[in-house]
Structure 1
Amino acid sequence: MAFQPEPVQEPASMLAPEKQAMKARKMWVDSLLRIMKSKTSFIGLLIIALLLITALFAPLIASHDPAAQSIVDRYQPPSGKHILGTDELGRDIFSRIVYGTRISIQIGLIAVGISLIIGVLLGGIAGYFGRWIDQVIMRIIDIMMAFPSILLAIALVAVLGPSLRNAMIAVGIVGIPQFARIVRGAVLSVKETEYIEAARAIGAKDGRILGQHVLPNCLAPIIVQATLSIGTAILDAAGLSFLGLGAQPPSPEWGAMLSDGRAALQTAPWVITFPGIAIFLVVLGFNLFGDGLRDALDPRLKQ
């Protein structure tokens, strides 16, 4: 009887894509239920939802034109006419905070998008190919992490020029090392699994393995880091605007509002109090939701 070798068993992701898709959907549904059951993550989700609603319906929510000036009404305390008072130019603070939510969302999404795309690409290549490629990429990442993030962002904006766009680019570049390290660690643990070895055995190319099998199995830590980084990006951009390196007047950016109102801290404290509270709540919301998302996607906590 002639010897017949056993057929090579293809990875489960190739043999039964429908089962893999059902398993993935079940994981995300279970994770969503875990998030909804967590009080802290649910509070964070509510804050984020409120932020999005405010940004979408800013013209309907705002009571005044955020750029309208009235010298007669300058430094008015909170009242029926101006819910949160006015600033040094008589502009309604509530309306400026409402319109500032749009800028904050823009900052968070664009800055984190830059960090995410470049960081995932560098971390994936370094973790999968290893050797000298890994050494070169990670030494560059180490150099970037040697600088305090805010100082590196200030240096980048100083080179590019002060503007909101350049501030978002700088904050995005500063966030690359976190994504690169997380993705590299995840890729190192995934690339040695059996289904990756099976994919190599049937002749799949490295690009296909990395894009279709390795990185999709690293999504959980990437999503968690992206959620947490949005709050950090908003906070860093507010810091740059406070220093005059980010959003420029008359943009209703919260950090710029803090910078404009610091001269009246003792006489009109509401000018900086309410923008500061807005920054605090947004960063808190993303941090709470990110922590809950991390717990929900952690397989060790499913029981």
Structure 2
Amino acid sequence: MTTKTDKIDRLAELTAARAEPEHGLGLWREAFRRLKRNPMAVSGAVIVLLFLVIAILAPWLAPYDPEARTWDHEVFQNQNIFVGPRAENWLGLDNAGRDELSRIIVGARQSLLVGVVATGLGFAVGALLGGLAGAAVGLGGRVGQRVDAVIMRVVDMLLAMPSLLLAVSVAAILGPSLLTVMVAVGVTQVPIFARLLRGSMLAQSHSDYVLAANALGVKRRRIVLGHIVPNSLGPVLVQGTLSLATAIIEAAALSYLGLGNPDTSYPEWGSMLADAQRFLSGAPQLAIYPAIVIIITALGFTLLGEAMRESLDPKLRK
């Protein structure tokens, strides 16, 4: 038989259990938990994952050789006659009698390569410049201020030029090639990462943990390299995801302008758009298909990046 005392003891136990603090989660674990509940993040992740799988497995997923002109006898460019979707060619044929679906699939690999390498190059150089500028300000002194001033004036000059114009200028100097596209797009990303990391480091330098470390006598260099820099990388990593979408679009634009891979027989979404420009009246689908995949891929990276920013920034959390 349960007595009144037992009920009181049981109620006290339940109250104590509820009063026990829950174990806190780290920043990235909390962000990941929010991402799983965010429909925008899930949609972006699905698109990005699908794009990665297609790009990696492209040689095995493509039904035909994307460079083989197997059906060139069925295409009559002079008469503006093209083959549309059919059983053996789901998206039809291009102007040279090549399977359009195979070229779209294999073109994802080159677009992914350009986007990742260009963003990685921009991230590495931009983070190096921004980190040096932020560390110089954090260490203080006239020398640090001068180093910061020189680096940021160079970054400001890069930011003064429109990104596409800067990319076209670099590509025109280096000459058309796949490497040129990577370098040109990477250069446009450098000032973005540099200013973002420097600003994040300056914001972190006024945090309570930095003041506490200074009060305890921790060396300034250790505070900057061991605490400020690691805690400032979150916004930069989010920007890297967003920059992948921009890099893919800008790489396609350079290829469209003829500054990409000079070998147009190898599929790339931007060069496919450029080739289709001459046949818009007779075969508009040749431009529609690569444009759609570029838009969807960029949308996936943008959705994922925006969701990551909302999850990591307390001011943007819903």
1:237 pairs with one of 251, 266, 273: 251
Aligned twin of 2:203: 189
Aligned twin of 2:26: 26
Relative to structure 2, which stretch is displaced further, 190-199 or 36-45? 190-199
> Following TM superposition, by how much is the alpha carbon of 1:223 offset from its aligned partner in structure 2, in angstroms?
1.2
| 2:50 is the alignment partner of 1:43 | no
Q: Is the 8 A contact 1:187 1:218 kept in 2?
A: yes
With over 3 angstroms needed to count, the CA separation of the structure-2 counterparts of 1:161 and 1:51, relative to structure 1, is same
Q: Deviations over 1:114-143 (max 9, x none)?
A: 111111111121122131111111111111
Relative to structure 2, which stretch is displaced further, 72-81 or 248-257? 72-81
Aligned twin of 1:87: 94
> Following TM superposition, by how much is the alpha carbon of 1:219 offset from its aligned partner in structure 2, in angstroms?
1.9
Partner Cα separation in structure 1 for residue 27 and residue 156 of structure 2: 34
| 2:60 is the alignment partner of 1:56 | no
Partner Cα separation in structure 1 for residue 274 and residue 223 of structure 2: 49
Aligned twin of 2:279: 264
Aligned twin of 1:16: none
Aligned twin of 1:293: 308
> Following TM superposition, by how much is the alpha carbon of 1:50 offset from its aligned partner in structure 2, in angstroms?
0.5
Q: Is the 8 A contact 1:115 1:172 kept in 2?
A: yes
How many residues align structurally?
280
Aligned twin of 1:68: 68
Aligned twin of 2:5: none
In structure 1, give the amino acid aligned to 2:97.
G
In structure 2, give the amino acid aligned to 1:43.
S
**Residue pairs, 1:154-303, within 5 angstroms:** 154-197=168-211, 199=213, 202=217, 204=219, 206=221, 208-248=222-262, 249-302=264-317
For structure 2, list consecutive stretches of 5 or more residues without a partner in the other structure: 1-22, 76-81, 138-144
Relative to structure 2, which stretch is displaced further, 59-68 or 255-264? 59-68
Partner Cα separation in structure 1 for residue 285 and residue 190 of structure 2: 36
Q: Is the 8 A contact 1:111 1:233 kept in 2?
A: yes
Partner Cα separation in structure 1 for residue 206 and residue 115 of structure 2: 34
Relative to structure 2, which stretch is displaced further, 43-52 or 72-81? 72-81
In structure 1, give the amino acid aligned to 2:128.
L
In structure 2, give the amino acid aligned to 1:72.
H
> Following TM superposition, by how much is the alpha carbon of 1:262 offset from its aligned partner in structure 2, in angstroms?
0.7
Partner SS for 1:79: coil
Segments of 4+ in structure 1 off by > 6 A?
none
In structure 2, give the amino acid aligned to 1:47.
I
> Following TM superposition, by how much is the alpha carbon of 1:106 offset from its aligned partner in structure 2, in angstroms?
0.8
Partner Cα separation in structure 2 for residue 169 and residue 209 of structure 1: 34
Tell me the TM-score normalised to structure 2 length: 0.83
Q: Is the 8 A contact 1:156 1:170 kept in 2?
A: yes
> Following TM superposition, by how much is the alpha carbon of 1:204 offset from its aligned partner in structure 2, in angstroms?
3.5
Q: RMSD between aligned alpha carbons?
A: 1.8
For structure 1, list consecutive stretches of 5 or more residues without a partner in the other structure: 1-21
> Following TM superposition, by how much is the alpha carbon of 1:302 offset from its aligned partner in structure 2, in angstroms?
4.7
Partner Cα separation in structure 1 for residue 230 and residue 90 of structure 2: 47
The structure that has the greater radius of gyration is 2
Partner Cα separation in structure 1 for residue 30 and residue 95 of structure 2: 50
> Following TM superposition, by how much is the alpha carbon of 1:36 offset from its aligned partner in structure 2, in angstroms?
1.9
| 2:150 is the alignment partner of 1:149 | no
Partner Cα separation in structure 1 for residue 42 and residue 238 of structure 2: 15
In structure 2, give the amino acid aligned to 1:192.
H
Partner Cα separation in structure 2 for residue 288 and residue 203 of structure 1: 41
Relative to structure 2, which stretch is displaced further, 26-35 or 161-170? 26-35
Partner Cα separation in structure 2 for residue 56 and residue 167 of structure 1: 20
Partner Cα separation in structure 2 for residue 138 and residue 163 of structure 1: 30
> Following TM superposition, by how much is the alpha carbon of 1:250 offset from its aligned partner in structure 2, in angstroms?
1.7
> Following TM superposition, by how much is the alpha carbon of 1:35 offset from its aligned partner in structure 2, in angstroms?
1.4
Q: Deviations over 1:74-97 (max 9, x none)?
A: 331111111111111111111111
In structure 2, give the amino acid aligned to 1:129.
A
Q: Is the 8 A contact 1:162 1:245 kept in 2?
A: yes
Partner SS for 2:26: helix
With over 3 angstroms needed to count, the CA separation of the structure-2 counterparts of 1:73 and 1:33, relative to structure 1, is farther
